[in-house]
């Protein structure tokens, strides 16, 4: 059975937090990888509430350097230092990220320099590749340098366990050769690996935070199992703010999801004007995309 992707919504609010919605932050876990996407103020406390350990963070992906997405970073870095974090921490973000991290390290008295820390300024394209999975970035149109991210697990060959049992094939070092589709002999039996394989489909989770509408986003998130997308405003409020905003509305987010044929849509980065799960935001998105829309609240968890 495939390893699951676990995504925890640590903060689902926007510029001003509410009692129910913290500043933006999400943690994606896959095997030993723990990737923090954005790190708004109060993210450390959300880790505690969710029963998660910040010292297991392996990478941090910053969508852009507005305070609501990053003011939690100095505290996280200081906590890692205090707890003797011994991993290699990599921070990815748009142009200017190195200078922003330097400023944030100054806030912790530059003691954060004790960390094994590397900052990558990214453009559109693959930003790291671990073979089995990779992360791709796309520059988006906000009022400062900003990027979206997609976490993608590649399609792979898997052995059909039921077929192995039927053929009574025992555990053997040669099982690895079967995965490659090779013909091997096990206990005197000639076994063709190609006949035992099936394709495990690619899995993809995309994150689109603060941005104006851009049709290129559709291509970037195409076919995602889950699109996590900002939905700061309803259609009406978005129209009232026309020309003054650099954010997506519920209608725009749902339109992207529908055109990209994603399987599920999670709307985040909600304005403080909305309480709980706003019917207007959810309703507008459902009208366009259908029933696969959710408006997650803080600390909710999904598996893919």
| pLDDT one-digit tens code per residue, 248-258 | 999 999 999 99
- The reported pLDDT for the residue numbered 193 is 77
In a domain, residue 247? The reply is yes
Closest CA to 26 of 268, 202, 304: 268
DSSP labels for 37-60? E---TTHHHHHHHHT--GGG--EE
- The reported pLDDT for the residue numbered 198 is 83
Which residues of the chain fall short of a pLDDT of 50? none
Among the listed residues 38, 68, 210, 298, the single catalytic one is: 68
100 lies in the same domain as 235: yes
Q: How many CB atoms lie within 10 A of CB 125?
A: 9
- The reported pLDDT for the residue numbered 31 is 96
Domain extent, residue 276, equals 6-155+201-303
Q: How many CB atoms lie within 10 A of CB 111?
A: 12
Q: How many CB atoms lie within 10 A of CB 288?
A: 18
Q: Is 162 exposed, middle or buried (0-12, 13-18, 19+ CB in 10 A)?
A: exposed
146 lies in the same domain as 271: yes
> Secondary structure of the chain: what % helix, strand, coil (to 5)?
30, 30, 40
The CA distance from 93 to 218, in Å, is 21
pLDDT tens for each residue of 174-210: 777 787 778 888 777 788 878 878 888 899 999 999 9
- The reported pLDDT for the residue numbered 6 is 98
77 lies in the same domain as 137: yes
The CA distance from 193 to 198, in Å, is 10
Residue 143 designated active-site: no
- The reported pLDDT for the residue numbered 177 is 77
241 lies in the same domain as 256: yes
What is the distance between the terminal CA atoms of the chain, rounded to a whole angstrom? 12
- The reported pLDDT for the residue numbered 186 is 76
Q: CA 289 from chain center: how many Å? A: 21
Q: Is 269 exposed, middle or buried (0-12, 13-18, 19+ CB in 10 A)?
A: buried
Instruction: Write the DSSP symbol of residue 214.
Output: -
The single residue listed with the structure tokens 């009692």 is 19
The CA distance from 106 to 118, in Å, is 16
Closest CA to 91 of 82, 83, 102: 102
31 lies in the same domain as 130: yes
Bridge partner residues of 37 (DSSP): 26, 61
In a domain, residue 1? The reply is no
Q: What is the pTM of this model?
A: 0.90
260 lies in the same domain as 170: no
115 lies in the same domain as 77: yes
The single residue listed with the structure tokens 């609240």 is 297
Q: Give yes or no for a contact between 268 and 207, defined as CB atoms under 8 angstroms apart.
A: no
- The reported pLDDT for the residue numbered 242 is 52
In a domain, residue 215? The reply is yes
- The reported pLDDT for the residue numbered 238 is 61
Q: Give yes or no for a contact between 146 and 65, defined as CB atoms under 8 angstroms apart.
A: no
- The reported pLDDT for the residue numbered 233 is 83
Q: CA 173 from chain center: how many Å? A: 35
93 lies in the same domain as 176: no
Q: Going by C-beta distance under 8 Å and a sequence separation of 6 or more, which residues neighbour residue 174?
A: 184, 186
264 lies in the same domain as 177: no
- The reported pLDDT for the residue numbered 240 is 59
Q: How many CB atoms lie within 10 A of CB 97?
A: 21
- The reported pLDDT for the residue numbered 221 is 99
C-alpha distances in angstroms, 116 versus 58, 87, 160, 194? 11, 7, 41, 44
Half-sphere exposure of 199 (CA within 13 A, CB side): 5
In a domain, residue 206? The reply is yes
212 sits in which H/E element: none
């Amino acid at each position: 059975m495939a390893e699951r992707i676990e995504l925890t919504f640590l903060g689902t609010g926007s510029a001003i937090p509410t009692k129910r919605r913290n500043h933006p932050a999400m943690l994606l876990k896959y095997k030993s990888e723990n990737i923090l996407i954005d790190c708004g103020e109060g993210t450390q406390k959300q880790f505690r509430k969710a029963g998660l350990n910040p010292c297991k963070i392996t990478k941090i992906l910053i969508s852009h350097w507005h305070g609501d997405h990053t003011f939690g970073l100095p505290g996280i870095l200081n906590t890692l230092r205090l707890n003797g974090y011994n991993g290699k921490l990599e921070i990815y973000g748009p142009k200017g990220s190195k200078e922003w991290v330097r400023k944030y390290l100054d806030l912790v008295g530059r003691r954060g320099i004790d960390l094994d820390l590397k900052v990558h300024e990214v453009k559109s394209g693959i930003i790291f590749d671990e073979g089995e999975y990779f992360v791709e970035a796309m520059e988006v149109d906000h009022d400062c340098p900003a990027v979206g991210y997609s976490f993608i697990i590649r399609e792979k060959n898997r052995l059909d366990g039921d077929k192995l049992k039927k053929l009574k094939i025992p555990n053997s070092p040669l099982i690895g050769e079967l995965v490659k589709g090779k013909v091997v002999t096990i206990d005197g039996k000639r076994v063709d690996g190609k006949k035992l394989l099936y394709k495990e489909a690619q899995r993809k989770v995309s994150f689109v935070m603060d941005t104006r509408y851009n049709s290129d986003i559709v291509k970037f998130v195409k076919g995602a199992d889950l699109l996590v997308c900002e939905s700061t405003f309803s259609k009406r409020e978005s129209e009232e703010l026309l020309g003054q905003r650099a954010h997506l509305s519920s209608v725009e987010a749902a339109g992207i999801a529908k055109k990209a044929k994603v399987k599920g849509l999670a709307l985040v980065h909600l304005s403080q004007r909305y309480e709980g799960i706003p019917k207007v935001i959810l309703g507008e998105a459902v009208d366009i995309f259908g029933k696969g829309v959710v408006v997650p609240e803080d600390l909710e968890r999904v598996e893919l």
